[in-house]
Copies of this chain bind each other. A is one copy, B any other.
Amino acid sequence: MPPLDKRHCFSVHCPSRLLFDQIADKWSMMVLTVLDPGPARFNEIKRNLQGVTQKALTQCLRRLERNGLILRRVIPTSPVGVEYEITPLGRSLQGPFKALYIWTLQNLAEVDRARAEFDTRNGGGGSAAAKAA
């Protein structure tokens, strides 16, 4: 794999641009993390993702399934059961995700400092809208 070009230019049709949006969202990262130890049922996943709505989780799982990152298996029991499981492709994404997750943990403090300083410099004599961003 080649290193990133100097002053890399991202064309509109750059494939990674489109893919990045699909896979790099908050819920997807969390779902892949929760499924890491093994398959899990819908509500089991939901319980581990505090605050996610049924709709958001369903959409997220569909997208993950469509992109080949997880597998959906229906268990024909009396009330229907569904199990979700990571695919090998999904596992290959855990490394990059974990790197990002660890970065957030390691640098959270410094980011907070930077934010406080920024808000003092700017929001100090102005609107509080800056913090809302």
Say yes or no: B48 contacts A9, CB within 8 Å.
yes
Those of A91-133 within 8 Å (CB) of chain B: 92-93, 95-108, 110-111, 113-115, 117-119, 130, 133
With a CB–CB cut-off of 8 A, which chain B residues contact A92?
103, 107
With a CB–CB cut-off of 8 A, which chain B residues contact A97?
100
Interface centre among A4, A12, A59 (most CB of B within 10 A): A4
Q: How far is the CA of A107 from the CA of B22 in the complex (A)?
A: 13
A: number of interface residues (CB 8 Å): 65
Chain A interfacial positions (CB closer than 8 Å to B): 1, 4, 6-12, 15-17, 19-21, 23-26, 29-30, 33-34, 36-37, 40, 47-51, 59, 62-63, 65-68, 89, 92-93, 95-108, 110-111, 113-115, 117-119, 130, 133
A131 to chain B, nearest CB (A): 9
Say yes or no: A68 contacts B99, CB within 8 Å.
no
Q: How far is the CA of A61 from the CA of B56 in the complex (A)?
A: 28
